[in-house]
Chain A
């Protein structure tokens, strides 16, 4: 066919992906040294992470039996008598559920207020730094604070009560309430950042269609930051799963999940129990040390859970990029 363009010599067809670039060997020695350090640091961190996962995998799989996950722990003299990790697994799941259920509405509504209203601005600043303070508080401090709160007589119905009527302030609800403070900052930050990244023209588009601010938030903004919220929830979950201090102080660290009172569900919330982290602590050679092998197995399960959650965060982030069409086909012509 005809070409309406001046004929030029045609070069060879493209063969390599990239053209010539300046080589580090021609750089100043200082720059080369920094580059070498950066490489070493990166590879070193990879090696440390790989060592942790491989060692825990090696020790964990060695003692991990399918039955272990479905047997309740028991008191015994030898490792063959101490049962499995069913109760800590359920404890972890229950505590996570409570923590997220409490943190979710708080964090999301806080983030919506900060990102969409944020007035008066001094109050918004105060709220934001408060959440940062909560994020920076060591979990053992939170746990101690929670203990002093839930030991008050007013909160007695919320927690485990000893035979004599003494309030110990230990229960799933007490631990879950403090765990929600652990999960709140990442969930809040993820939602707020998501909302702040929604371009202004999206809001204007909704307003221009005669929508109120509330309708815009509900129907446009929150759905479009769904994946940010999911990322935040996943980060919060992995924070809760990994926390030990609150479990030790507020959940009672009991071998089994103990219920309190006659009402179903409520008795579970008022009851005590343990999680994988406290199980690992109790059974490790550093703790009472009855079953170090099971500690390794439980630690491996914990590690797999957290790694799985990290993978999930990554996945959600990627699907977000796809959904917004940033790396997809189409876009502005």
Chain B
């Protein structure tokens, strides 16, 4: 450590995986603490600010207790986390629906370096599959292969097959596939257009005849409603999308992705750039969405995986180590590595 007396950090871990975050934290001799939403802050003390004013100046209204995160609390050592499952998100479909995606013996290598090593999985409608694992374990590569985005990297080589409803996705036209297997990214990435145009862009087929706004409007509103955003933006759909808050932008991206009624929704760390409140809203939304489609979510946040997932796949260095229901993987992991990871011994 340098002889500096004070180090200021502005959200240094939000986009980092737990392993990196843990290394940085221990490098500074800080003990890790988990706040109530499962975010590790490494902070024994916290103050909540409301807008530009500190809490005490907040004025007339009582700050809702859910927003008070951790206040002046002794550091909590990392412990096997308690299972906390939102009753709202108990299985929407008691038995999983038909199989949507089947990954069989899939391998991906970049420049000859394997990133995913013969992974086999199946993904059903009506369930959320969480891909977890330390960074560099290949979970994002696996996710991006499911809608053939890895093909955009020239050095990527693939082996094995992915079947969507029994058809090999590499036999499908890539643009068709990507409307059937939609994706939401880590950073909210709405296009610099109006809210309406963002969703309408996804709906417009590439054709000479562009559908009129009147024809698209019900579809756009439906998509916004399913993404739980319509009530907040109904007043002015022509507002620039970039004026929305981060959480709203991410829900707009979800609306855009589900507008063409895909069968599978891929989510790459959809909440890691968001605050706990927006995260909560999105997680609730994932619980709703899995009624109509299969969801695959990559997350570094184990607490989040526990909250949203029905099935969990744990990957390590490109290998699929363990795959099972969320209960099994978190409560009775079979592989020692999985146990270490979910209990926070490493990573």
A interface vs B, CB < 8 Å? 1, 3-6, 199, 201-202, 204-212, 215, 219-220, 223-224, 323-325, 328-333
Q: CB-nearest residue of chain B relative to A218?
A: B206
Instruction: Choose from A3, A207, A209, A212 the contact partner of B201 (Cβ within 8 Å).
Output: A209
Chain B's interface size range is: 35 or more
B interface vs A, CB < 8 Å? 47, 54-56, 58-60, 62, 68, 71-72, 147, 149, 152, 174-179, 182-183, 185, 187-193, 201-202, 206, 240, 242-247, 249, 253, 256-257, 260, 273-275, 278
Residues of B near A4 (CB, < 8 A) are 55, 68, 71
> Given A201-B187, A204-B149, A210-B178, A331 and B62 touching (CB < 8 A)?
no
Count of A-B contacts with CB under 8 A? 103
Q: In the bound complex, how far is the Cα of B45 from the Cα of A6, in angstroms?
A: 11
Instruction: Choose from A215, A323, A332 the contact partner of B240 (Cβ within 8 Å).
Output: A323
Establish whether residues A325 and B178, one from each chain, have CB atoms under 8 Å apart when the complex forms. Answer: no
> Given A5-B71, A5-B72, A223 and B193 touching (CB < 8 A)?
yes
Establish whether residues B206 and A325, one from each chain, have CB atoms under 8 Å apart when the complex forms. Answer: no
Q: In the bound complex, how far is the Cα of B68 from the Cα of A37, in angstroms?
A: 53
> Given A4-B71, A5-B55, A204 and B188 touching (CB < 8 A)?
no
Residues of B near A209 (CB, < 8 A) are 178-179, 182, 201-202, 256-257, 260
Establish whether residues A205 and B242, one from each chain, have CB atoms under 8 Å apart when the complex forms. Answer: no
Can you give 25 A-B contacts (C-beta < 8 A)? A4-B71, A5-B47, A5-B71, A199-B189, A202-B191, A205-B191, A207-B178, A208-B149, A208-B178, A208-B185, A208-B257, A209-B201, A210-B176, A210-B177, A210-B179, A210-B260, A211-B175, A212-B175, A219-B201, A220-B191, A220-B201, A330-B242, A331-B242, A331-B246, A333-B247
- B190 vs chain A, min Cβ distance (A): 8
- A97 vs chain B, min Cβ distance (A): 29
Q: In the bound complex, how far is the Cα of B191 from the Cα of A248, in angstroms?
A: 47
Residues of B near A6 (CB, < 8 A) are 72
- A8 vs chain B, min Cβ distance (A): 10
Establish whether residues A333 and B245, one from each chain, have CB atoms under 8 Å apart when the complex forms. Answer: yes
Q: CB-nearest residue of chain A relative to B173?
A: A210
> Given A333-B275, A333-B278, A205 and B253 touching (CB < 8 A)?
yes
Which of B71, B177, B201, B247 counts the most chain A CB atoms within 10 A?
A: B201
Instruction: Choose from B185, B190, B246 the contact partner of A333 (Cβ within 8 Å).
Output: B246
Establish whether residues B278 and A224, one from each chain, have CB atoms under 8 Å apart when the complex forms. Answer: no
Q: CB-nearest residue of chain A relative to B187?
A: A201
Q: CB-nearest residue of chain B relative to A7?
A: B56
Residues of B near A325 (CB, < 8 A) are 240, 242-243
Residues of A near B188 (CB, < 8 A) are 332
Which of B55, B189, B244 counts the most chain A CB atoms within 10 A?
A: B189
- A110 vs chain B, min Cβ distance (A): 23
- B277 vs chain A, min Cβ distance (A): 8
Q: In the bound complex, how far is the Cα of B206 from the Cα of A212, in angstroms?
A: 9
- A244 vs chain B, min Cβ distance (A): 40
Q: CB-nearest residue of chain A relative to B186?
A: A201
Establish whether residues B278 and A3, one from each chain, have CB atoms under 8 Å apart when the complex forms. Answer: no
Q: In the bound complex, how far is the Cα of B240 from the Cα of A164, in angstroms?
A: 63
Q: Which 5 A-B pairs have the closest CB atoms?
A: A210-B179, A210-B178, A333-B246, A332-B246, A325-B242
Residues of A near B182 (CB, < 8 A) are 208-209
Q: In the bound complex, how far is the Cα of B47 from the Cα of A205, in angstroms?
A: 36
Q: CB-nearest residue of chain A relative to B177?
A: A210
Establish whether residues A324 and B243, one from each chain, have CB atoms under 8 Å apart when the complex forms. Answer: no
Instruction: Choose from B183, B191, B245, B275 the contact partner of A224 (Cβ within 8 Å).
Output: B191
Establish whether residues A324 and B242, one from each chain, have CB atoms under 8 Å apart when the complex forms. Answer: yes
Residues of A near B183 (CB, < 8 A) are 208
Establish whether residues A201 and B189, one from each chain, have CB atoms under 8 Å apart when the complex forms. Answer: yes
Q: In the bound complex, how far is the Cα of B179 from the Cα of A330, in angstroms?
A: 29
Residues of A near B249 (CB, < 8 A) are 332
- B146 vs chain A, min Cβ distance (A): 11
Residues of A near B192 (CB, < 8 A) are 223-224, 323-324
Q: In the bound complex, how far is the Cα of B63 from the Cα of A3, in angstroms?
A: 10
> Given A207-B178, A209-B256, A211-B175, A329 and B243 touching (CB < 8 A)?
yes
Q: In the bound complex, how far is the Cα of B242 from the Cα of A201, in angstroms?
A: 15
